[in-house]
Amino acid sequence: MKNKSSKNDLTVDETLRFRKLEAAFLSRCRHFGYKEIRTSTIEPLHVFTSLGALSDTKLRRMYSFIDWDGWSGERVALKPDSTTCVVRFYGDHLYSETPRQKLCYVENHFEWADSWDELSERWQCGVENIGSNAPESDIEVIYMAYDILREIGLGDIHLYLSYPALIKEIIVALSLWRTDTSDLVRAIRNNDDDRIREILGKVPEGEKLEMLLSLRGRSANYLKNLRDTLKGPKYERASAAFENFVSVCELLDRIQCPYLIDFSLLGDLEYYTGVQFQILSTRERKSRKDILCAGGRYDNLTGDMLNLLLEDAPEETVPAVGFALYARNIIRHRTIMELTAESADKRQNISIHVSNVTKGNVHTAQRLSDKLFRLGFAAQITFMPVEREKYECFGLVIEVDHERFADGYQILYSQKIGKPLLMNLFGEFNDR
């Protein structure tokens, strides 16, 4: 039987798109003061199991095994989630220095795929804003994610907001049986309207939650009109969460960031305590491939991790909010593929031939290549001469040799780039 090719590979073109995404991501992180880190690919299993951070489905899909040859012989796992690992990193390396941290990463994580043609390795670009519970920090990460996707050329994207903690507080207020509670959460995640209706029909005021799960809104005013839904002492905790959601939406309205409120969006991560969001490539999510970005607030996970790691952990919670860009879904998006193809057509293919291989000549060629790259050209250095009959494959062919040429280089062929422009660009390289 012929071997199936790996769906986890990135092709040459996909890698170019990945770098485009990464560059835009790191640029925004720099703008807002996030520091890049790298966390371990293999973590102790208890990092993920002891905190209840992952849903049962996510836990079942972990790659875990006994580290027989390691010093401890304990069970370890390939990380299925980056946020948990960043929080562990924060507790190990940063909390004792400065509790307030803004961190970013470009990493992969792993989980079992349902079939051979799905992916088991996923790449993410993500941020974690740790130490602030202000609505402004929620807005910062939401805006960054949305702006990055617009920057790389994705115009038709859809931002969905939800508040899982609010829904869970309402479920607690309704006093459902434990089995009904877990069944209801599962039904919401699966968009099983019949099962939701069946469970909520058993309790008084169940129609309130059913109504919230079915409604969609696009402004803070939409939420304010729902305030009466949560009146009464038993909804006190739910009302506090509701007002926080209103504050977040008011700020999004002020920066004119369009969104759709969808209370039925719960996701498969249990650690969210505040606003949760997804950015989709479609108006309705049909599969995981439609998700371009996911994130939200998780005020308990960091404190729980510190209690696990430190003897003198703080008693209070450590607020945090973050997002992860789903790199593979983004770079395989139709619009990104079209933009990459268009830019490839326009990109000047330039050959820089170092005919006399010396340290000075190679250094000059590298500086030329860097300069051209910053201007949007694809300039490649070669120690082998380009055959004259192949000159037309290039927009420009340059030969570098300071011993033979007064300027240090000679233009052998120029298809589209004018000589005056070249002299202006390269004049600074004439002196070694």
**Residue 409 pLDDT:** 87
Which of 148-152, 184-188, 314-318, 330-334 has maximum average pLDDT?
Answer: 148-152
Asked if the structure places residue 419 within a domain, the reply is yes
Asked if the structure places residue 147 within a domain, the reply is yes
Question: What is the C-alpha separation between 280 and 289, in angstroms, rounded?
Answer: 9
Q: Cβ contacts of residue 222 below 8 Å, gap of 6+?
A: 261
Q: Cβ contacts of residue 359 below 8 Å, gap of 6+?
A: none
Q: Are residues 382 and 425 in the same domain?
A: yes
Q: Are residues 140 and 68 in the same domain?
A: yes
Question: What is the C-alpha separation between 420 and 280, in angstroms, rounded?
Answer: 47
Q: Are residues 355 and 318 in the same domain?
A: no
Mean pLDDT confidence for 100-113: 91
Q: Are residues 368 and 299 in the same domain?
A: no
Domain limits for position 373? 348-429
pLDDT band, residue 34 (cuts 50/70/90): very high
Burial class (CB in 10 A: 0-12, 13-18, 19+), 2: exposed
φ/ψ of 12, rounded to 5, equals -60, -50
Q: Residue 34 belongs to a domain with what CATH number? A: 3.30.930.10
**Residue 342 pLDDT:** 59
Token pair, residue 302, equals 């960091």
Domain end among 311, 337, 363:
337
Asked if the structure places residue 271 within a domain, the reply is yes
Cβ atoms of 25 and 106 closer than 8 Å: yes
Q: What percent of the chain has pLDDT over 90?
A: 43
pLDDT at 2 over 80: no
pTM of the predicted model as reported, rounded to 2 decimal places: 0.81
Asked if the structure places residue 236 within a domain, the reply is no
Q: Are residues 305 and 421 in the same domain?
A: no
Asked if the structure places residue 108 within a domain, the reply is yes
The total of structural domains in the chain comes to 2
Q: Are residues 422 and 283 in the same domain?
A: no
> What is the per-residue pLDDT across 245-290, written as a single tens digit (0 to 9) for each?
999 999 999 999 999 999 888 766 577 889 999 999 888 766 778 8
**Residue 346 pLDDT:** 47
Question: What is the C-alpha separation between 350 and 413, in angstroms, rounded?
Answer: 10
Q: Are residues 312 and 402 in the same domain?
A: no
Question: What is the C-alpha separation between 325 and 378, in angstroms, rounded?
Answer: 27
Q: Are residues 152 and 283 in the same domain?
A: yes
> What is the per-residue pLDDT across 151-206, written as a single tens digit (0 to 9) for each?
998 878 999 999 988 888 898 888 888 788 889 988 888 888 899 999 999 888 88
Question: What is the C-alpha separation between 57 and 55, in angstroms, rounded?
Answer: 5
Cβ atoms of 303 and 317 closer than 8 Å: yes
Mean pLDDT confidence for 308-317: 83
**Residue 10 pLDDT:** 87
Asked if the structure places residue 208 within a domain, the reply is no
Q: Are residues 333 and 355 in the same domain?
A: no
**Residue 340 pLDDT:** 65
Q: Are residues 325 and 354 in the same domain?
A: no
Q: Residue 359 belongs to a domain with what CATH number? A: 3.40.50
One-letter identity of residue 236: E
